[in-house]
């Protein structure tokens, strides 16, 4: 029996490839900007500014492409999180990741054509893609045009607050990326999820 399922259409794979590469460039250039005073910085300040701004703009265009893709194709259905019973589903998946997997138990939510993500994966992708990515992008675009940022927000410097949001979102997304890559190794084999993101087939 052929149990292969085509889950990652070309547009998802292309979006994801550019997103992952741009993220790496943004992390390195962002760290170089943050630690510009340190003598052995990763990228010299004058290059880091342009590299970070240009890759941020390309990431934004790529993100808009992703939003359109999820809205106009059936891929968006995998991100729907019905609230009813959500806590139980997440608890089940969490128990599997922290206990069941070490006892060789079967996954509680195996991948099917209608269920690409397990409940924890789904929740984390929704939070990352629909909360933290917009926060990162909107604060990043605002920092490109600082003249438009109000001087005072809640009696604090507007630029400082925008920068704080930008850096915090960037940090959280970088942490997500590390955990995301680790969890991607928990597939049928260590590399099977990575192969799926290359050839489209689960």
Question: Site residues (CB under 6 A) for ligand HEM?
Answer: 8, 12, 16, 19-20, 23, 75, 116, 121, 125, 128-129, 173, 177, 180-181, 184, 193-194, 196-197
For 35, other C-beta atoms within 10 Å of its C-beta total 14
Closest CA to 49 of 30, 70, 72, 73: 30
CB of 129 to ligand HEM, least distance (A): 5
Residue 25 near residue 32, CB atoms below 8 Å: no
Distance CA 116, CA 122 (A): 9
Q: Report the residue number, 35 or 125, with the smaller CB distance to ligand HEM.
A: 125
User: Residue 45 or residue 171: which is nearer to ligand HEM going by CB?
Assistant: 171
Nearer to ligand HEM (CB atom), residue 69 or residue 158:
69
Instruction: Count, in order, helices (H) and strands (E) of the chain.
Output: 7, 2
Question: Which residue has the CB atom at the shortest distance from ligand HEM?
Answer: 20
Shortest spacing between CB 57 and ligand HEM, in angstroms:
16
Least separation, in Å, of the C-beta of 15 and ligand HEM? Answer: 8
Instruction: Give CA–CA dist 162/149, Å, rounded.
Output: 8
Give the residue with the Cβ less far from ligand HEM, 81 or 149.
81
Under DSSP, the state recorded for 106 is: P
Distance CA 67, CA 108 (A): 29
Residue 150 CB, nearest approach to ligand HEM (Å): 28
β-pairing, 152-153 vs 156-157, is antiparallel
Nearer to ligand HEM by Cβ, of 158 and 187: the residue is 187
């Amino acid at each position: 029996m052929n149990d292969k399922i085509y889950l990652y259409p070309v547009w998802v794979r292309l979006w994801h490839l550019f997103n992952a590469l741009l993220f790496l460039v943004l992390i390195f250039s962002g760290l170089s900007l943050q630690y510009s005073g340190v003598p052995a910085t990763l990228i010299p300040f004058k290059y880091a500014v342009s590299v970070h701004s240009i890759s941020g703009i390309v990431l934004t265009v790529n993100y808009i492409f992703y939003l359109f893709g999820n809205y106009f194709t059936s891929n968006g259905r995998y991100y729907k999180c019905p609230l009813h019973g959500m806590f139980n589903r997440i608890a089940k998946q969490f128990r599997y990741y922290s206990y069941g997997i070490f006892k060789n138990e079967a996954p509680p939510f195996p991948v099917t054509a209608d269920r690409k993500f397990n409940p924890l994966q789904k929740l984390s992708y929704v939070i990352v893609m629909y909360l933290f990515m917009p926060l990162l992008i909107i604060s990043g675009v605002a920092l490109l045009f600082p003249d438009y940022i109000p001087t005072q927000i809640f009696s604090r410097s507007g630029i400082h607050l925008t920068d704080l949001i930008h850096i915090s979102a960037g940090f959280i997304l970088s942490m997500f990326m590390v955990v995301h890559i680790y969890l991607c190794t928990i597939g049928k084999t260590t590399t099977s999820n990575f192969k799926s993101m290359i050839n489209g087939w689960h």
